[in-house]
Structure 1
């Protein structure tokens, strides 16, 4: 079957001094001659970029695929010689070459033959040529200079990318966020503000100062921007959540990943000469892009990972406060109980102003972006500085969730990760990475002071019978040890005396596999899996029937589990030792184990 490409589109885009609205609104049909993954150049970046060659049958043009479309290549939806309709794109001049940035496309067909004999286009009049501007062969891979940082590959000064535009009074090209790099200048982005922080102050040996940050979003990605000192005074009042702005003359730097969970290898520094202008034309305004994770899937995410969650707020707790140990400051907090269609529930903590200002009622649907995953009592979520939430968002997923909850979801029971049979934190057990216990010891896991996480399959050989449980505070979220007093059990942390404690496990067990033996330490969730009962039930048996208690201990020995452990050194009585804490424990699922082995025998490993 033959396909008709949009003849002449590459030349029109290449030679246009400024692509107008009529040109940008076209949906041209093109052929992908080749593609190549290129290095982003950002330290620690894990975001792949793909440079592609598109052809209209007469000429070919260099293009960059939006990172949000990476899955099309990675999942083999598009390949060499694919025919596609480009639904949305932008076009910029970079180093004397026209670069097409593909923001949306529809695959028409995969074909085996190249259409026509497309040739390279010459640089448009007045454009500065790159030092080495040889065009890649249409059928070959796209050559990308080293140290590329997105669509602007050369690590040096670059010609101005000005256009004399009449639209909106702007005189700079509108760039997609994902194309920004430190090697570009005279750019302007059109972006939605999704999060604006409070003004914060600091004081250290170098002096004092203040800052605030915002998160910008457009159709290609997101980026964090921070203003300091004088720029705070000039710019803070100009930004409002939910509004769209033109931003230019800000500095692009490598992102400090320690202080942000925004998915971008770069961030912006807003300066006193940074230009900010509100965009009143909301047609095709940028919207927040989510990658929702079901609550049940939180168990597969690592601690401190970030994710997006869409859920019903089933309960909102009262406003509380905590005092930080480091600064002795009081911070307001509020806990929300979330549920979704997966049948699981999880607690999410709001902090500061978000906790104080929470006023939503009637169990709303809330979209959370960039929330932090914790392992407190199994799995929990927490709003970070750059996290955002949108109450009752007007998106299809939210409407579906609302309908499901109103139709019966409100009446069903939910399971938490704390009560799941796996217990412990939600760190994923990895069968393909099982580490023999002797190897854990020989490789020095946890030394000298950096925790190491490993997966192990081992059998419980012995459990220390002493101090298996301790009396804990029954207040939700506390669990500190309580002391028996005249009129009950006293918790010094809560300053409350309870009628009775809630006992919790603290287990020390010798486990072994084919290679050797180690001592593992586990807490409440691990104890419930090993003994198959709550700590309160075990204490009652111990106090009333010693023979039955000994039988419970004996039955716990000899069982094999899949473990996820965290190895870490500590000091005890001036002696350095490595402790192996149980983060996750799972009874063996023989059906899953058999399926894994069968797949392994069919793989290339077994050939």
Structure 2
């Protein structure tokens, strides 16, 4: 019976340093809640908060994102009986929680109503739980092994390296937070940036960053000035390191990182870093691949991972930035996959000049940006990585498919937003879209085409546009510090004036209903017929002259018919779920092609039948 399988008293034992050791306690899931990522964070994954019971006590836990599939697949549910395999007790804001890195759902027990009458754990909050020990094979119980000797600090490259110490008590990356103080992590360096310098009103300095990986997750770490001088030469891509406090854990600056982690590390001048003597059992890079054929449904500027067969390699070219006058080396590649679609992908800098891979190699990319300049394309970010012929299942499957279909023809991607023709489409009615809201889930957005007319553009007490940075590739909001001085926090630059960009809510309608669409700068220009700077100028002129050209421009933008490609996704706002409809691409109706589309529809019916009446 399920009651007999549950390890009663295990929760108290986990948090009691003097309690008995319980390696793999069995508990019941009595509550499960989804925590959505922050709005606009395309790379983040949802988190799952689980309440577990041992029949005597219950405890809040957080499931590691690596184990999300247990919930999304429907295997782990409220009432499930589970065995904890890897876990880490922590005290966060005076509250005891468990970080669950891996668990097993005991399917043979099925699902039950809450068993027993568990109560909240009544241990005093000043009792510090000991972190679970972790080794190369994972966690082995909830009691710590004997404390290790402090690691040797990183020494300059010309000094003899100290021998590796034993680290029987390690933290997983998944458990790092600003509330964790003394810890050591064992990580693989998957990316190292060049040294960058900065000059601003607060001074000058330099920095570098690395991406770090273990079995539970990835995190970005940055070293400034002194830490940069001390640690830069030590880090090598694909090598394994022990890193120990002092090292700050802060909230991640998402504009500088493509990793799905809410936190990042900042190396202090005394951060302890040691290269591991044992370089075996290296954590493998995790990918979340998007098929090339699926790119038209991915929103512009999203960061993704992708994998493909190398079909073409361009020559190295040099371009000059119009904003900074700096030269950049680039090389264009063409990739294809088993969707029989190819895409152009640009690599930059040393990655471009040093590129050396034979045609028909399989290449995996982590951290590429989806662009839309005339055609849908990809660009490898400076924090991204590229692996040629990786030893992963997806690469072997793709290579096998290509070898069996070497004569396959590949279609090039056409831009969704730039396609002025449209071609034959199957449109959804607005009434149908609204009815389908009920079945929409947070982890599975819906993408569709809708033909509708603009009815109203929200502008009373609503934001139509925002002041943005003028730097190439930067669209962050700038702040006016003084008259004629607009500051961009991302680029660390001042501008005499901003470039306004649309961010607007538009009500559209067809003959079945109305709906609100979220539009960004490119779609806003198409609807308004002018840039956001021009519209802002009209608004200022009206305020000075008492005219109404701003309102007239908004009125002129209504009653226009477009074909919209829309992404519907579930969001949580003020703890309430809601559906957001974002426009991925749009263009005016091509009436010649629309006539042909309707003609094809008519051919599907037998003229004169009772099922169709032509007026």
TM-score tier by shorter-chain length is: 0.5 to 0.7
Query: Residue 265 of structure 2: which of 223, 245, 268 is its match?
Result: 268
TM-superposition CA deviations, 1:258-302 (whole Å, max 9, x none): 222222222211121111122344565422211111011111111
Could you tell me how far apart the structure 2 residues matched to 1:115 and 1:401 are?
47
User: In 2, are the aligned partners of 1:197 and 1:214 still within 8 Å (CA)?
Assistant: yes
Counterpart position of 2:137: none
Q: Secondary structure at the match of 2:456?
A: helix
1:334 is the counterpart of 2:316: no
Look up the SS of the partner of 2:28 in the other structure.
Answer: strand
Structure 1 segment 272-311 matched on structure 2, within 5 A = 272-281=269-278, 284-311=281-308
- Which of 366, 369, 373 is 1:369 aligned to? 366
Residues 1:569 and 2:532 are matched in the alignment? yes
1:5–1:28 Cα contact (<8 Å) kept: no
Tell me the alpha carbon deviations over residues 332-364 of structure 1, each in whole angstroms, 9 at most, x when there is no partner: 100110111111111110000100111111421
Report the 3-state secondary structure (helix = DSSP H, G, I; strand = E; otherwise coil) of the residue aligned with 2:204: strand
1:199 pairs, out of 192, 195, 201, with 195
Report the Cα offset of residue 177 of structure 1: 2.0
Residue by residue over 1:148-181, the C-alpha shift from the partner in whole angstroms, topping out at 9 and shown as x without a partner, is xxxxxxxxxxxxx997424974679522223322
Q: What secondary structure, in the 3-state scheme, does the structure 2 residue paired with 1:375 have?
A: strand
Residue equivalent to 1:189: 185
After superposition, residues 18-29 of structure 1 pair within 5 angstroms as 26-29=23-26
Residue pair 1:84, 1:108 contacting (<8 A) in 2 also? yes
Question: How far apart, in 2, do the equivalents of 1:215 and 1:104 lie?
Answer: 23
Distance in structure 1 (CA, Å) of the matches to 2:205 and 2:263:
23
Instruction: Give the equivalent residue in structure 2 for 1:406.
Output: 403
- The alpha carbon displacement at 1:107 in A equals 2.6
1:387 aligns to what SS in structure 2?
A: strand
- Tell me which of 439, 444, 449 is aligned to 2:456: 439
CA contact (8 A) 2:239 2:279 kept: no
CA positional deviation for 1:212: 0.8
The answer on whether the counterparts of 1:213 and 1:227 sit within 8 Å (CA) in structure 2 is yes
Question: Counterparts in 2 of 1:80-479, with a 5 A limit?
Answer: 80-92=78-90, 99-109=97-107, 110-116=110-116, 118=118, 123=123, 128-129=126-127, 164-166=146-148, 169=165, 173-248=169-244, 249-281=246-278, 284-408=281-405, 410-418=406-414, 423=419, 432=433, 436-440=453-457, 447=465, 449-452=500-503
Q: CA deviation at 1:257?
A: 2.2
Q: Secondary structure at the match of 1:298?
A: helix
CA distance in 1: counterparts of 2:228 and 2:421, whole angstroms: 40
- Tell whether the 8 Å contact from 2:457 to 2:506 is kept in structure 1 after alignment: no
Equivalent-residue separation in structure 1 for 2:91 and 2:72 (angstroms) = 28
CA distance in 2, matches of 1:186, 1:210: 27
Superposition deviation, residue 207 in structure 1 = 3.1
Q: Secondary structure at the match of 2:228?
A: helix
Distance apart, 1:396 and its partner CA: 0.8
Change (3 A) 1:373 1:209: same
For each residue in 1:490-543, what CA deviation from the matched residue of structure 2 results, as whole angstroms up to 9, or x when unmatched? xxxxxxxxxxxxxxxxxxxxxx9999xxxxxxx9xx9xxxxxxxxxxxxxxxxx
Deviations 1:66-120 (A, max 9, x none): 1233454456432221123334334445577764322223333341233455566
| Cα 1:402/1:19, change in 2 over 3 Å | farther
Give deviations 1:425-451, integer Å, cap 9, x for gaps.
99xx99659774231386798547222
- Conserved in 1, the CA contact under 8 Å of 2:29 and 2:78? yes
Deviation of 1:3 after TM superposition, in Å, equals 7.4
Secondary structure in structure 2 of the residue aligned to 1:34? strand
Are the structure 2 counterparts of residues 565 and 101 from structure 1 closer, same or farther at C-alpha, using a change threshold of 3 Å? farther
Residues 64, 337 of structure 1: alpha-carbon distance in 2 compared, 3 angstrom cutoff: same
Counterpart secondary structure, 2:383: coil
CA deviations over 1:195-239 (Å, ceiling 9, x no partner)? 101112223343332111111122332221111111111000111
Q: Give the deviation of 1:53 after TM superposition.
A: 2.8
**Equivalent position to 1:65, from 63, 66, 70:** 63
User: Structure 1 residues 88, 447: CA separation in 2 closer, same or farther (over 3 Å shift)?
Assistant: closer
Q: Is the 8 A contact 2:457 2:504 kept in 1?
A: no
TM-aligned CA distance change 1:50 to 1:86, over 3 Å: same
Work out the CA distance in 1 between the residues paired with 2:127 and 2:188.
34
**How many angstroms apart in 1 are the aligned matches of 2:395 and 2:365?**
12
Whole-Å Cα distance in 1 between the matches of residues 88 and 529 of structure 2? 47
Give me the TM-score of the superposition, normalised by structure 1: 0.64
Aligned counterparts of 1:392 and 1:278: Cα–Cα separation in 2: 27
CA contact (8 A) 1:457 1:513 kept: no
Q: Distance in 1 between matches of 2:240 and 2:117?
A: 43
Task: Tell me, in whole angstroms, the C-alpha distance in 2 between the residues paired with 1:272 and 1:416.
Answer: 50
SS in 2 for 1:346: strand
| Structure 1 segments unaligned to the other structure (5+ residues) | 134-160, 460-511, 516-522, 527-562, 595-607
How does the TM-score come out when normalised to structure 2?
0.63
Q: Distance in 2 between matches of 1:11 and 1:438?
A: 60
Gap regions ≥5 residues in structure 2: 130-142, 150-163, 435-449, 467-499, 515-521, 540-549, 565-584, 603-615
* Alpha-carbon distance between aligned partners in 1 of 2:46 and 2:352, rounded to the nearest angstrom: 37
Distance 1:362 1:28, change over 3 A: farther
